[in-house]
Amino acid sequence: MGKNLSITTISLLLVLASTNTQQIFDVKSYGAQPNADITQALTNAWKAACAVAGSKVVISEGAYKLGLVTLLGPCKGAIEFNLQGTLQAPLDVAAFNGKDGWVIFERIDGLTVSGGGVFDGKGQQAWQKNECGEDKNCNLLPINIRFNYITNSIVQDITSKDSKFFHINLLECKKLQFQHVTITAPADSPNTDGIHIEHSSQINITNANIGTGDDCISIGDGTQDITANQVTCGPGHGISIGSLGKYQNEQPVLGIRVTGATLSNTNNGVRIKTWPSSPSGVASDIHFEDVVMNNVANPIIIDQNYCPNNQCSNQSPSKVKISNVSFKKIRGTSSTKEAVSLICSKSVPCQQVVLSNIDLAYKGGGGFATSTCANVQPAVSGTQNPPACTIKV
């Protein structure tokens, strides 16, 4: 009996020890100093932390220079990246040797990124060299933070600032949460999407504050089961599904829910965009609800003729099939007269599109807000300001 009790007690103590202790790996213990380059120190601290179960890499307050770094798993157990200070990227794009990421988290299960710190991408010089607006085959600039093959993880209380390209990019991630994340860049910074998600599932974004020069949130192909709740967006290009149909063999986009968002002074509101002359594709089960628009251009938009700077052929309609889409309880002010624009494909018309309780006032002079529809017959209910599909093209 006594022997059994002691075994039980020891087992309990081991469980408590594993859940309550976190081994700390401070980069200063690996030679990091404020205002100096800490690339090697961080790499060494990460490798050491990754090799033990239940660890925490700490970068304390202060400014640190950091080159391209890949923080690679799999790790022995859950691991926390705790950034309290500011990491500063190299100014010169050449320092990245053509790589498309700055801080890369890869193949980790049970990652926490936290601490209230800042990833400063120092993008001002790079923006002047960005050719992606004119050339869709441009060389991609470094993304501030890349999450590749990350599962069962959380990112909270961090800031991404002035990225050279996208701020945060998710690829092949599953069960990843974002809470209280801030993203900031000037309105004229090109291609600085806030959070871009592709080939990922079960992603949750809550209480994000995003102001940038492109989409606040953009959702690419192969993305399923995404929720974004209480996101503020502006400046920026809005919250976008797509663009889709640019490449061959794109995977479906399914199960997207955006609720409780506030968009202010953005170039677009909530939108779905696909390229003309596209291969076949699917975007379905997409819902925008309880969204406030403050002086937003194009508050509600489906654009299946998306072709920025004439980079594509308009010879044939988009073959991306859009269905089961709803816009509900969307209210506020539009800076353009056309507050609702649902331009679907002649080849595969949109199906099961719902407009419910839309109340968007045009802020300019010369009449009221209008709506335009093509190749879609939305089901409407509740308030309809502007009247739904008063113009059919």
133-164 pLDDT, tens digit each:
666 667 789 999 999 999 999 999 999 999 99
Q: Say if residues 320 and 304 touch (Cβ distance below 8 Å).
A: yes
Which of 244, 222, 256 shows the shortest CA–CA distance to 319? 244
- Report the largest interatomic distance among the alpha carbons of the chain, rounded to a whole angstrom: 89
Report phi then psi at 77, rounded to 5. -165, -165
Q: C-alpha angle with apex 328: 325 to 330, nearest 5 degrees?
A: 125
> How many alpha carbons lie under 13 Å from residue 371 in its C-beta half-sphere?
23
Cα-based distances in Å from 69 to 42, 47, 100, 147, 390: 8, 12, 11, 12, 53
> How many alpha carbons lie under 13 Å from residue 368 in its C-beta half-sphere?
10
249-263 pLDDT, tens digit each:
999 999 999 999 999
239 vs 66: CA distance, rounded Å: 31
Residues 6+ apart with CB under 8 A from 4: none
CATH number for the domain running over 215-393: 2.160.20.10
Task: Check residue 20 and give its pLDDT.
Answer: 54
261 vs 361: CA distance, rounded Å: 18
Task: Check residue 389 and give its pLDDT.
Answer: 85
Q: Does domain 21-175 have CATH number 2.40.50.100?
A: no
Task: Check residue 110 and give its pLDDT.
Answer: 98
Domains 21-175 and 215-393 share a fold: yes
Cα 94 to chain centroid distance, Å, stands at: 26
List, by residue number, the catalytic residues: 214, 237
Domain boundaries, the chain: 21-175, 215-393
Task: Check residue 3 and give its pLDDT.
Answer: 43
Question: Which residues of the chain are modeled with pLDDT < 50?
Answer: 1-5, 8-19, 392-393
Which of 95, 80, 71, 90 shows the shortest CA–CA distance to 23? 80
Question: What are the structure tokens assigned to 217, written together?
Answer: 């949130």
Task: Check residue 164 and give its pLDDT.
Answer: 97
Q: Say if residues 194 and 172 touch (Cβ distance below 8 Å).
A: no
244 vs 252: CA distance, rounded Å: 9
DSSP, collapsed to helix, strand or coil, labels residue 44 as: helix
